[in-house]
Amino acid sequence: MAGKHGEPMNFASDNWAGVSPEISAALGEAGAGVAPSYSGDSATARTVERFRELFETDLEAFFVGTGTAANSLALAAVARSGGAIMAFCDSHLAADECNATEFQTAGNKVVRLPGRLGRFSADTLAEALSLYPEGSVHHGRPVAVSVTQSTEIGTLYPLEEIRAIADLAHAHGLAVHMDGARFANAVASLGVTPADASWKAGIDMMSFGATKNGCWCADAVLFFDKSLVGDFEHLRMRGGHLMSKSRFVAEQFLAYLAEGHWLDLASRANRAARRLADGIAASAFGRLAWPAEANEVFGVWTDAKSAELRAAGAVFYEWPFASARADAGPAEGENLLRLVTSFATTDEEVDAFLAVLNRS
């Protein structure tokens, strides 16, 4: 998979990238030695401490193996029989996780809220909540709301919208969850602190993902509201998600969070996305579907152009327009295409891609 000059031009997904050299080195150094299993080791304890510093608050942190595990187990901690979990209709947890949340919660319902460009609004949440009469055993009961930041299609919630959603949710007794599979990209893009972007905006618990941003397997569930931890540790074990040598997850996190490495990685991906988006916006052969606010770029161009790009070695996916909930979609003969950048994306591969795009 190489471009004209050997550039990979791979924009398939940020989870196609490898491991950052710093994190790889840390893993290598940590390989030897003996340490307690099942999160009883000192690296895990240091990582939890590190999360507390980073988020400037007390919190609990638990490691799991995947983002899907993080989402579904976090929500399982607050689920109840007949529970309803509110999320954007095409969010990852609602549409791309094979019912993991429904399963881990023994059948809680993921209520799919409509919206635009990957986001729902507080008003939409209010309308959805209005359909649940107080005390009705028939309708079930809302238990949580989940927002994804950055979203599945590379947009961002303004922090005030998250705050409005969270305030409404809390007024109804719901827990507020953030799917932060790309939280680093959001923080880097927004230029705020991790605290601002999470608990200060009303988030109670978060799936903190590092796998898409330079780790190989590092996801954590953070509970800013420690009272929500509940049975989380039993749920994690019951789900087969307590790793015996979880100290290696800790080692990844320690390297990831050291000296701003995580934000460096995310900023690289974001910069590459901006370069790519700017190039597409300026191109005569394609256009930007909507602004790229994090590390995902959505473009629209013809099938012929896609074929040409692929022939040149570019890798990217067609995306169903319906799930974007955007105003203007591809015309006849055009397609919506998703390009994802990562910490490993180089200016060279972006430019090589744009060169083919602009080739008449």
Of these, 322, 328, 329, 359, which contacts its own copies (CB under 8 A)? 322
Q: By CB under 8 A, tell whether 233 contacts its own copies.
A: yes
Q: By CB under 8 A, tell whether 320 contacts its own copies.
A: yes
323-326 contacts at long range (C-beta below 8 A, 24 or more positions apart) = 323/89, 323/90, 323/95, 323/152, 323/153, 324/90, 324/117, 324/118, 324/153, 324/289, 324/290, 324/298, 325/89, 325/90, 325/114, 325/115, 325/116, 325/117, 325/118, 326/116, 326/117, 326/289, 326/290
* CB of 56 vs its own copies, minimal distance in Å: 29
Per-residue binding string, its own copies, 13-32, x by CB under 8 A, is: x-xxxxx-x-xxx-xx-xxx
The residue (of 166 and 314) whose beta carbon lies closer to its own copies is: 314
Q: Which pair of tokens denotes residue 217?
A: 């397997």
Residues 69-98 that bind its own copies (CB under 8 A): 69-73, 76, 80-84, 95-98
Length of the chain: 360
Residues 119-148 that bind its own copies (CB under 8 A): 127, 130-131, 137-141
Residues 260-289 that bind its own copies (CB under 8 A): none
* CB of 354 vs its own copies, minimal distance in Å: 19
Q: By CB under 8 A, tell whether 12 contacts its own copies.
A: yes
Q: Largest Cα–Cα distance of the chain, in whole Å? A: 65
Of these, 47, 91, 105, 295, which contacts its own copies (CB under 8 A)? 105
Q: By CB under 8 A, tell whether 104 contacts its own copies.
A: yes
Task: Please give the Cα distance from 320 to 324 (Å, whole number).
Answer: 7
The residue (of 191 and 240) whose beta carbon lies closer to its own copies is: 240
Of these, 119, 177, 200, 212, which contacts its own copies (CB under 8 A)? 212
| 39 dihedral zone (left: phi>0; alpha: psi -120 to 50; beta) | left
Of these, 163, 216, 264, 326, which contacts its own copies (CB under 8 A)? 216
The residue (of 171 and 317) whose beta carbon lies closer to its own copies is: 317
Q: By CB under 8 A, tell whether 36 contacts its own copies.
A: yes
Of these, 3, 67, 142, 299, which contacts its own copies (CB under 8 A)? 67
The residue (of 55 and 62) whose beta carbon lies closer to its own copies is: 62
